[in-house]
Amino acid sequence: MDELEEIRLRKMRDLMAKNIPDADSADTPMAVADSTFEGFVKSKPVVVIDCWAEWCGPCGMIAPVIEQLAKEFAGKVTFGKLNVDENPATAARYRIMSIPTLLVMKNGVLVDTITGAVPKEYIATKLKSYV
């Protein structure tokens, strides 16, 4: 690896660290992008990524539920939001065909997928099994 590549990687890690909240204070979902996805999901033991789009009606319906769950699971689960229109690489990688889709990651590995505007209790029950 040349010196320029090392500098680039160090800068990228620094930028990602600034965008990744401390789990104890993360009671709201954080914006996640293709460039920050890997660092974000590996930064905490349990992470939920809400894959959504601006034009998606069901995504708007589930957004307040995600906000509530982020507060209720603060310190246990870290929530992120990934706009699939703006971040097609991650959406393609995880084969997101329908939105909203929640990606449940444990130690950086996908362990569950929840698709559709499902009830809050359903999501909470699923998450309890991972914390």
Identify the active-site residue in 49, 59, 62, 127: 59
User: What separation in angstroms does the CA of 54 have from each of 40, 47, 59, 83, 125?
Assistant: 22, 22, 8, 8, 27
CA dist 78 and 112 (Å) reads 15
Phi first, then psi: give them for residue 100, nearest 5 degrees: -75, 145
Q: Is the dihedral of CA 97, 27, 31, 128 positive or negative?
A: negative
Decide: 84 and 91 in contact? Cβ < 8 Å. Answer: yes
How many residues are there in the chain?
131
Identify the active-site residue in 56, 91, 96, 105: 56
- The reply to whether 59 belongs to the active site is yes
> What amino acid positions are annotated as catalytic residues?
56, 59
